[in-house]
Structure 1
Amino acid sequence: MVSFFNEICFRCRIGNGIFSNPVLVTPISWQSTRGYVRRAPRNGFSKQKKYEKSKKLMKYTKPARMLLSKSVIAPSDAQRSRWSHDDFRRQKSVVKEFTERQGTTPYLVGPPNAGGFSVLKSIDYEDRLPLNATVARLSSFESLRLLPIVRNALYGRALRQLDEKRPTAIQALAIKRIMSLPPPTVRLAQQGLLAKEDETDEEYYERRRYRKNLHKMKVKLKSYLLAAETGSGKTLAYLLPLVSMLKEEELQNAPAVWELPERPYIRSVILVPTAELVQQILAVVKDMCHDIKLASAGLSQETTRGVADNIRKKQIDILVATPVPLLKLLHRTDWNILEDCRKIVVDEADSLMDRSFKNETQEILDAPLRLETLVFCSATIPKTFDRTLAKKYPSMERIIAPHLHQVPRRITFSTVDTAARPFFNDKRKALAETLYNLDRSDTDPGKLKRIVVFVNHRESVPGLVEYLNGLKFHAVGVTRDNSLEERSSLMREFIRPTPRLEEVNNLNVVTGAVKTLRVLVTTDIFSRGIDMQSVRTIILYDVPFSSIDLIHRAGRTGRMGRRGRVILLATKGELKPWLRGLATTINRGYALV
């Protein structure tokens, strides 16, 4: 193939007469741009003599007979191994796919030539437009089918700190679609399970016999996928329909749909990947269920054996849990504790359905005997996750927000080239200079500034924290090596509202030389779902592994319409061409792929 390519190049350059003054060409490595470079005329040859000699050679020499050395024609063993390597093939396919997609849908501009960085499923621009019209019609929670008691708990507790209480795009779309099912009484009437005034004895016994065997019959599963950008209120998007359906069954006294047993039961489950998310979501559930009057509980890796065993003895409406502890409790119980579970929500589904939790999550999803509603919720749709759902749940209804895979527009993204002066590829110096500039900036005047620094490996956290504390910054590090109590106490300062500087003394924290900054150095353990409302700045100390990690890390700021900034530090080796244009892609509001 290389010999044929060289012959074609020679024919194009000399045989077809493209160059009026033919020049000698020298073969170079196949990895270069065109395979040939032009050689400058040697000393002693004038242009006229060179032209005559070239004309004479062209008269008696056929271009097809040009010979090349075997070292140029035959590829080396290293080149052959690179051609056959899976990563090389995958990168070529990614570049080809991006080029074709960019020609058809110019709105979806992603990082080209990015290899494994581009792992997200692309959503066509034409599929996003109709959603905007639907969201515009559903401009208030009154236009959505929610019980009054649920709407009052929403206004009085979940949204009490917001001045404007209106649904986000994913909340409006999800509540409208999930709550489109008829109420339990209507479903009972359609199935002939409600008592009639002129009911005969035969109809009565037939209805009782049907209700008695109802728990043995399979029901049609309704599955949904909720996908929206980070900080868009996805928790309430699936929680409001869940509590409304649970309360509706209770208020309308629908025993045929929900036959409450005498023994302990679990009516619904919310699966999350980390113990921190269990605490965060359980706090929202308990706050709302205080008015709605539903029982809730939490289960994670940090839950003690006694607390876990106590869950088996209760009647729980909503259980927030991580997969592994719930699976252990399921195996340790004499009966199937999820037998009466009708509704399951899988939050951060792309993480729970990857190879780390996929087997445990799927075993939990297969445990309920009469599962009616299954909701997957995620801020990103990786290609592998999309193929898994399409294979396992082909009839799934997808509810996708118009701005999926976009970094929120109120977040400013910038890249710092640490190879330039005065850093000279020293990321630590670049990080320190960035923090000093943030300290002197006029953002949040008079308030304490919280900054989160993300690294790729937890081994980097202690050294970076020690370096920042040596420069009189107040920095703390959090990894999986810390216990839940330590992580919760360190994270509490970055979750609570931003205090003013005169109130810092009441926070019981050590104050360094830079008094306006608090820095948290962590890994991806806190990049998913954690609501850091007081964090305005995210620093990406390491380039994320993929566009998934980039979206989740950047999503810790700019939540629920707030402003924020993301700063990426890149060395000379990391600053690839597609990474240089990443800031422009994000700031223009394009979706990543």
Structure 2
Amino acid sequence: MNFNDLNISDEIKKAIEDMGFTKLTPIQNNAIPEILKGKDIIGQAQTGSGKTLAFAIPIIEKIFIPDKSPQAIILCPTRELSMQVASEIEKIGSKIKKFKVLAVYGGQPIGKQTRVLKKGVHVVVGTPGRVIDHIQRGNLDLIGVESVVLDEADEMLEMGFREDIETILEKTPSQRQTLLFSATIPSEVRKIALTYQKNPEFIKIANKKKTVPKITQYSFKCDIKNKFIGLTKLIEAYDVKLALIFCNTKKSVDYVAKHLKKHDFKVDSLHGDMTQQTRDKVMNKFKNGNIKILVATDVAARGLDIADVEVIINYDVPQNRDDYIHRIGRTARAGKRGYAFTLVSKDELSRFNNIKKQNIGKIVEKEFPTLQEIEEIKIRKILKNANDLVNDGDLSKYLNYLKKEYNNDGLDIAAALLKMLLEN
């Protein structure tokens, strides 16, 4: 189905067209018509399936602009995802005059959020903790809420937000529409659905292709003491513009980032203990290319969507298949190719083998590149760039200079220049 086939306003259709979307994804195709009918939904779909548009389009379609009190609330597990969802909703509603959406999350001054809430917003997107904070302060009244969305419900419950979610749901009208989206449906998610939804329509999108086909996946076995050295070899050998390194703990993130800095790599880190201001600053540096390596934990990186990440490196083997899929899905965005490398120490081997068994695509086991191989890779890259210049660039000015100053065939001076580039 195309978006133009949907029974939605022309303003929303135009905004979606401007965003570059034409055809609906499976979750959108199945969920949007049912949500437009007013049904409660349980949508099971993986990261990157297009679920934000699946719930955002029907929610915006229902908004009554003259009423400036919140008519929809969307709960997300992290600040980053809250910001991303709010941004998508803002784009979808960009053609609707006076439509307002606000993201509320911890780590940002509460006063600024309070002022915007007092002026009036139609949709609130936020983390459960900060939403409750605003409710308790009297900044947020949910009496007019018609739609509640639990986005990445499994993540929220895993992070201990069950009590907060229930408190928020109990403060919304009983006749509300409740939409639940989750990559997995464990028992905790089922309990929430049974308690707070009315005859929900269950929509499951089969994840036939567990990974993006354009991701080349490699694993590298190593001793724990040699893991960092192996990491630096991979970074040098693949000479990437943007790389994202995943660690399982804050301690591991700090260790990797600190030692990469000592090796003069342009690197920064991202984990849950940082203030929101610091995290925003780091993200902007990564998006702008001011740093080329970002070291992060799973929770801190949830919701990241950066188009040009070329390489994902699992410095620590993730805890399960879903975390692995989520991590490697940060590369090969927008149809581009990408690499996913996993460093596997002996005590992680059993966990890694369990992940490999679960149909996640082909992972080729490789050896770390030797110093000689790294040098050869660098030389080939320099020569390729030079050859591209020969084919595309105007070199006459430089050729004339060399002819005047140098009478040989040029191979020895080319070799000297190559040596200078490699050893600089």
Q: TM-score, normalised by structure 2?
A: 0.77
How many percent identity over aligned positions? 27
- Mapping of 1:386-425 within 5 angstroms? 386=190, 388-390=192-194, 393=197, 395-403=199-207, 406-419=210-223
Structure 2 partner of 1:292? 96
Tell me if structure 1 keeps the 8 A contact 2:244–2:313.
yes
What are the superposed Cα offsets for residues 325-349 of structure 1, whole Å, 9 maximum, x if unpaired? Answer: 2112212229x71011111112121
Structure 1 partner of 2:137? 332
Task: Choose which of 155, 166, 170 in structure 1 pairs with 2:23.
Answer: 166
Structure 2 partner of 1:55? none
Relative to structure 1, the CA distance from residue 376 to residue 562 in structure 2 (aligned partners, 3 Å threshold; closer, same or farther) is farther
Letter in 1 for 2:43: L
Structure 1 partner of 2:35? 178
Task: Choose which of 554, 565, 569 in structure 1 pairs with 2:343.
Answer: 569
What are the superposed Cα offsets for residues 386-415 of structure 1, whole Å, 9 maximum, x if unpaired? Answer: 455346547221222221792333323222
Asked if 1:226 corresponds to 2:69, the answer is no
Tell me if structure 1 keeps the 8 A contact 2:157–2:188.
no
Structure 2 partner of 1:318? 123
Q: Which runs of 5+ in 1 are unaligned?
A: 1-137, 182-221, 251-259, 440-447, 497-506, 511-517
Tell me if structure 2 keeps the 8 A contact 1:279–1:298.
yes
Structure 2 partner of 1:467? 259
Instruction: Provide the C-alpha distance between the structure 1 equivalents of 2:41 and 2:362, rounded to a whole number of angstroms.
Output: 30
Instruction: Please state how far the C-alpha of 1:588 moved relative to its aligned partner.
Output: 5.7
Letter in 2 for 1:268: A
Structure 2 partner of 1:238? 55
Instruction: Please state how far the C-alpha of 1:311 moved relative to its aligned partner.
Output: 4.2
Tell me if structure 1 keeps the 8 A contact 2:247–2:295.
yes
Asked if 1:551 corresponds to 2:325, the answer is yes
- 3-state SS of the aligned residue for 2:343? strand
Instruction: Provide the C-alpha distance between the structure 1 equivalents of 2:84 and 2:306, rounded to a whole number of angstroms.
Output: 11
Instruction: Please state how far the C-alpha of 1:457 moved relative to its aligned partner.
Output: 0.8
- 3-state SS of the aligned residue for 2:93? helix
Instruction: Provide the C-alpha distance between the structure 2 equivalents of 1:147 and 1:314, rounded to a whole number of angstroms.
Output: 26
Structure 2 partner of 1:213? none
Q: Which runs of 5+ in 2 are unaligned?
A: 364-424
- Mapping of 1:10-89 within 5 angstroms? none
Letter in 2 for 1:233: G
What are the superposed Cα offsets for residues 219-244 of structure 1, whole Å, 9 maximum, x if unpaired? Answer: xxx42122222222222121112112
Instruction: Please state how far the C-alpha of 1:267 moved relative to its aligned partner.
Output: 1.0
What are the superposed Cα offsets for residues 131-159 of structure 1, whole Å, 9 maximum, x if unpaired? Answer: xxxxxxx2x21222222111001112x33
Structure 1 partner of 2:234? 434
Letter in 2 for 1:434: L
Asked if 1:476 corresponds to 2:282, the answer is no
Q: TM-score, normalised by structure 1?
A: 0.56
Instruction: Provide the C-alpha distance between the structure 1 equivalents of 2:59 and 2:237, rounded to a whole number of angstroms.
Output: 46
Tell me if structure 2 keeps the 8 A contact 1:225–1:375.
yes
Tell me if structure 2 keeps the 8 A contact 1:382–1:548.
no
Instruction: Provide the C-alpha distance between the structure 1 equivalents of 2:314 and 2:124, rounded to a whole number of angstroms.
Output: 34
Count of aligned pairs between the two proteins: 362
Instruction: Provide the C-alpha distance between the structure 1 equivalents of 2:195 and 2:138, rounded to a whole number of angstroms.
Output: 31
Structure 1 partner of 2:169? 365
Tell me if structure 1 keeps the 8 A contact 2:108–2:277.
no
Asked if 1:541 corresponds to 2:315, the answer is yes
Instruction: Provide the C-alpha distance between the structure 1 equivalents of 2:278 and 2:60, rounded to a whole number of angstroms.
Output: 32
Q: Alpha carbon RMSD of aligned pairs, Å?
A: 2.8
Asked if 1:491 corresponds to 2:291, the answer is no
Instruction: Provide the C-alpha distance between the structure 1 equivalents of 2:29 and 2:37, rounded to a whole number of angstroms.
Output: 12
- 3-state SS of the aligned residue for 1:316? coil
Asked if 1:302 corresponds to 2:107, the answer is yes
Letter in 2 for 1:537: V
Instruction: Please state how far the C-alpha of 1:475 moved relative to its aligned partner.
Output: 1.5
Instruction: Provide the C-alpha distance between the structure 2 equivalents of 1:458 and 1:310, rounded to a whole number of angstroms.
Output: 34
Relative to structure 1, the CA distance from residue 320 to residue 401 in structure 2 (aligned partners, 3 Å threshold; closer, same or farther) is same
Relative to structure 1, the CA distance from residue 578 to residue 369 in structure 2 (aligned partners, 3 Å threshold; closer, same or farther) is closer
Instruction: Provide the C-alpha distance between the structure 2 equivalents of 1:486 and 1:561, rounded to a whole number of angstroms.
Output: 31
Tell me if structure 2 keeps the 8 A contact 1:475–1:519.
yes
Relative to structure 1, the CA distance from residue 303 to residue 557 in structure 2 (aligned partners, 3 Å threshold; closer, same or farther) is same
Relative to structure 1, the CA distance from residue 383 to residue 286 in structure 2 (aligned partners, 3 Å threshold; closer, same or farther) is same
Tell me if structure 1 keeps the 8 A contact 2:41–2:200.
yes
Tell me if structure 2 keeps the 8 A contact 1:296–1:318.
yes
Structure 1 partner of 2:11? 149
Task: Choose which of 150, 155, 163 in structure 2 pairs with 1:351.
Answer: 155
Letter in 2 for 1:235: T
Relative to structure 1, the CA distance from residue 340 to residue 436 in structure 2 (aligned partners, 3 Å threshold; closer, same or farther) is same
Instruction: Provide the C-alpha distance between the structure 2 equivalents of 1:337 and 1:364, rounded to a whole number of angstroms.
Output: 10
